[in-house]
Amino acid sequence: MANLSNINNILRTNSTGVGIFADAGSYPLEITSTTTAGVKLINTGNATYDIYANASEEFIIAKSGVGPNRLVISSGGDATFSGIITGTSGVFGGSTTDSTLKVGSVETQSYSVNNTWIADNQYYDGSNYRYRANGYGTTIGFGLGTISLRNSANGSAGAIADNTLRYIMSAAGDNTFTGTITCSGGAANNDDSANALSVTGSEHIRAIVDTSSTGGHRASYVLESNGNEVSIATTGSSEMIFSNTSERMRIDSGGDVGIGTTPYAAGSTWRSFYVGSSASIISRQSAAGVDTMFSNNLYIDSANVDKRRTTGAAARIFINDDIIRFQNIGSGASNTSISFVERMRIDSAGNVGIGMTNTSNAKLNVNGNLLLDGSAEIMYSLTSGGHFLSIRSRDSATSGCGIRIHSPYGDPGYFYGEGSGSGSSSYIGILDGAGQWAVQCRTSTFTALHVNGSNRLHIDSAGNVGIGTTSPTSRLELKEAIVPRITLLKTGILTWFIGNQSQGASNNFGIGTDSGGNTDILTLTNIGDVLFSRPTKTSTPTYGNAYISGDYAVGSTNYYAQVFVEHNSVTNHGIVLKEKNTSGGVQVAFLNSNVTLVGQITTTATSTGYATSSDYRLKEDLQDFKGLDMVSKIPVYDFKWKTDESRSYGVVAHELQEVLPDAVSGEKDAEEMQGVDYSKIVPLLVKSIQELKAEIEILKTQINN
């Protein structure tokens, strides 16, 4: 038999085994190559496979001429497959420990359809998960469209593993974790490149952190940076809590919020936002109204009652529909009810009310005092005398205060008051732009008008008015060093004056006009003379005109004279009328209401005549009468006057009135005494004489015959 120990130095055999290109070593078949050591398996007419080790120390199984390689095992033991890896199809029984696929400590098991595990140091015996060796165990399960992750605590080989569920993804894609989830990542920029966890979707998305505990345990989101932790948590009482080193904010189950404090649970009407131990924002959450409150030391309890949070005062800004109210209340114990007092409001029109609720009258409505800059105070008061608005200084070092009127062109003046004490030492008035009095009122003493610092009009406490003097002694006193006067000007026509216009330093008083020079129309001299048209008294009587018109009566019958002259007949005349024309003329003319002459007094060089109207053109229906009969009926007496006991002859008015009414004025026993016009009896006397003459003529004829 041929020697097969060395065939062409390619195939070598020895007691150990067969070697190709080298002696066999430790294995029954060894293939040695300086390039690629391998075996080609040829199935004639079918696929050819190469099994070899390359220079990169990789073990490769490949289909000849067809890539990629079916299996590549690196020098480090990593295996790379192309295509599908199929394990055995065995089914576990109650005591079976075989795996369908096992790689190191990792193995794949399949218990039934839709029930497969990839396990590390664990296997399923049909009833329980058990440890293959001492240590920890982990499984990934697949079944009915779900994926689950489980692990087990450190255990002994063959012992039942607890295999606690840590993660499950449902067939719908929902993910449920137990334990801690840690996502690592980060980037230099705070943008999407720094995302460590991203949850996206095209519809509603919710991230749920759930604890089923009812013992007050929290479910939290924790954010941490450089050891600084911030958390968002909730408890079994439906509260949300925001914390860092300690709790900073809480939202209770009713929606009330507390920052730095636990929120108070209000009733169903209100929702609250509390900050610290005092501040709060409270808003109505129902359709009962649109109300919001910004408050201090206030909470609303479950019965919707206003209460104090701590012992002390409370205040709030209450926005009620379109009205803003500013309210407060004095100190009280914590948790006691509050009845706020409104101090100010702003209505829907922007009108402001301070201390009052009626804001319809003005933009600013104030019931009370205003203090300006700590020293000036504006006060309102209601007394029995009426309503008062006052301005006063609260600075003891300042004696005055006022209202300043300012324009872009300067300071026109001030409404001003000052005082060094009370009563007559206090002043009030108006100052001009130079700070000098323009209007000055001294309490209980005087009121004055000033121009350029000088007193021009002065009214004292008695009501006396002085012009040019500060001490008037009468209701109106005009004082001027040269020409004291009052001027009356009718524009473009005439200027009248009252006072000492033309006489300079004289003591005469005149009324006149400047027409054609200063001319006195009426002059009253310092010795009591009244002069018309001429300013001085001369030996020649003064000429002039006087027109007096009046219709003044007191009662029904006492008519007062329009001209009343009182004189002493021993030393002078009451009224003197002088005719300038030497031939005489009318001294007094009497006109009726139709301005028709009805009587006159005339003079000649030697006599005075009295005439009443008697023109034929004024008369009609002329009749004869019995004059002697009428005269015979008139009683005539020798009588004494009661006033001075002087005697005279005459008639009694009411007796004459029965015979000749036209000759009598007034009525008997009336308030006004009756009077008699004896000239009216003259026609009767003339007629009587005529009748007597006729009778005498008849008697003479009878005697002669």
Task: With a cut of 70, say whether residue 156 has pLDDT above it.
Answer: yes
Return the closest-CA partner of residue 514 out of 483, 547, 540: 483
Read off the pLDDT of each residue in 111-136 and give the average, rounded to a whole number.
80
**Tell me, what's the pLDDT at 27?**
73
**Tell me, what's the pLDDT at 544?**
47
Q: Is 656 helix (H, G, I), strand (E, B) or coil?
A: helix
* Residue 322: band (very low, low, confident or very high) from pLDDT cuts 50, 70, 90: confident
**Tell me, what's the pLDDT at 93?**
38
Comparing 21 with 597, which gets the higher pLDDT?
Answer: 597
pLDDT digits (tens, 9 = 90+) for 175-208: 888 777 777 777 888 887 877 777 777 787 776 6
Report percent pLDDT > 90 for the chain. Answer: 21
Q: Say how many Å lie between the first and final Cα of the chain, rounded.
A: 251
- Name the DSSP class of 423: G
**Residue 184: how many other CB atoms lie within 10 Å:** 6
Read off the pLDDT of each residue in 643-671 and give the average, rounded to a whole number.
93
Q: How far is CA 592 from the centre of its chain?
A: 73
CA count, 13 A, side-chain hemisphere, 166? 14
**Residue 212: how many other CB atoms lie within 10 Å:** 7
Q: What phi-psi label fits residue 115: left (phi over 0), alpha (psi between -120 and 50 degrees) or beta?
A: beta
CB 299 within 8 A of CB 272: yes
Task: With a cut of 70, say whether residue 554 has pLDDT above it.
Answer: no
Return the closest-CA partner of residue 263 out of 213, 305, 298: 298
pLDDT digits (tens, 9 = 90+) for 206-243: 766 666 666 667 777 777 777 787 777 777 677 888 88
Task: With a cut of 50, say whether residue 96 has pLDDT above it.
Answer: no
- What is the SS3 string spanning 174-237? CEEECCCCCCCCCCCCCCHHHCCCCCCCCCCCCCCCCCCCCCCCCEEEEEEECCEEEEEEECCC
| R_g of the chain computed on alpha carbons | 69
Beta bridge partners of 440: 429, 448
**Tell me, what's the pLDDT at 213?**
60
Q: Is the peptide bond before 661 cis (omega within 30 degrees of 0)?
A: no
Q: How far is CA 491 from the centre of its chain?
A: 51
Among 131-135, 283-287, 395-399, the range of highest mean pLDDT: 131-135
**Residue 449: how many other CB atoms lie within 10 Å:** 17
Comparing 317 with 377, which gets the higher pLDDT?
Answer: 317
Q: How far apart are CA 476 and CA 526, in angstroms?
A: 19
Task: With a cut of 60, say whether residue 505 has pLDDT above it.
Answer: no
Task: With a cut of 90, say whether residue 499 has pLDDT above it.
Answer: no
Q: How far is CA 419 from the centre of its chain?
A: 35
Return the closest-CA partner of residue 523 out of 499, 541, 545, 504: 499
**Tell me, what's the pLDDT at 132?**
85
Return the closest-CA partner of residue 418 out of 432, 403, 399: 399
Q: What phi-psi label fits residue 631: left (phi over 0), alpha (psi between -120 and 50 degrees) or beta?
A: alpha
Comparing 164 with 29, which gets the higher pLDDT?
Answer: 164
Going from N- to C-terminal start, the domains of the chain cover 92-181, 252-367, 489-546, 627-704
Task: With a cut of 50, say whether residue 541 has pLDDT above it.
Answer: no
Return the closest-CA partner of residue 66 out of 79, 49, 46: 49
CB 192 within 8 A of CB 185: no
How confident is the prediction for the chain on average, in pLDDT?
79
**Tell me, what's the pLDDT at 624?**
92
Give every CB contact of residue 77 below 8 A, 6+ residues apart in sequence.
none
- Name the DSSP class of 337: B
**Tell me, what's the pLDDT at 89?**
47
Task: With a cut of 80, say whether residue 507 has pLDDT above it.
Answer: no
Comparing 567 with 329, which gets the higher pLDDT?
Answer: 329
**Tell me, what's the pLDDT at 332?**
94
CB 239 within 8 A of CB 222: no
Q: Is 126 helix (H, G, I), strand (E, B) or coil?
A: coil
Task: With a cut of 80, say whether residue 602 has pLDDT above it.
Answer: yes
CB 141 within 8 A of CB 148: yes
pLDDT digits (tens, 9 = 90+) for 567-581: 777 777 878 888 878
Backbone φ and ψ for 317, nearest 5 degrees, come out as -105, 115
pLDDT digits (tens, 9 = 90+) for 275-292: 988 888 888 866 656 788
Q: At which residue do the structure tokens 């053109």 appear? A: 617
**Tell me, what's the pLDDT at 229?**
77
pLDDT digits (tens, 9 = 90+) for 424-473: 567 788 888 787 888 888 878 889 888 988 888 999 989 999 988 989 99
Q: How far apart are CA 130 and CA 122, in angstroms?
A: 5
Beta bridge partners of 294: 281, 317
**Tell me, what's the pLDDT at 355?**
86
pLDDT digits (tens, 9 = 90+) for 37-94: 788 878 877 888 888 888 788 888 888 877 788 888 888 888 888 776 666 544 433 3
Task: With a cut of 90, say whether residue 689 has pLDDT above it.
Answer: yes
Backbone φ and ψ for 134, nearest 5 degrees, come out as -65, 135
Read off the pLDDT of each residue in 403-409 and give the average, rounded to a whole number.
65
The H or E element that residue 354 is part of is: strand 352-354
Among 328-337, 386-395, 485-494, the range of highest mean pLDDT: 328-337
Q: At which residue do the structure tokens 């199935």 appear? A: 43
